[in-house]
Amino acid sequence: MIDIKNKEEFTQALDTSGIQVMVFTAFWCPDCMYIKPFMPEIEEEFSNLKFYSLNRDQCMDIAIEYEVMGIPSFICFKDGKEISRFVSTLRKTKEEIETYLNKTIESEKEIC
């Protein structure tokens, strides 16, 4: 997972091809720490996607722009546009994240 530290890096990431998965987190967030151990497995399973991590506190301007209130939040982009979002008040499991990513991929295949 590539760390994004500012708006410039975020904009550059959006300019890459394919689907970008932006994961908004914070070091103090217990639910963010919960997903951290299995995120490398998810990245390997979904190697066709590009994963980026944003510390919501360090990238507050981006979080505000995209109305990210709860964390961890997952937002997928393609061609610079948001195509899906996974936000909930409940702790996210590995299976829920995988389901979300699979649905995102499937919906993009239907559009093409």
Calpha distance 19→21 (Å, rounded)? 7
Domains detected in the chain:
2-111 (3.40.30.10)
Residue 81 φ/ψ, nearest 5 degrees: -120, 145
Residue ranges in the chain assigned as alpha helix (H)? 7-14, 30-35, 39-45, 60-65, 94-111
| Span 14-60, pLDDT tens digits | 999 999 999 999 999 999 999 999 999 999 999 999 999 999 999 99
Give the phi and the psi of residue 101 in degrees, each rounded to 5. -65, -40
Pair type for strands 73-78 and 81-86: antiparallel
Bridge partners for 76 per DSSP: 21, 84
pTM of the model: 0.91
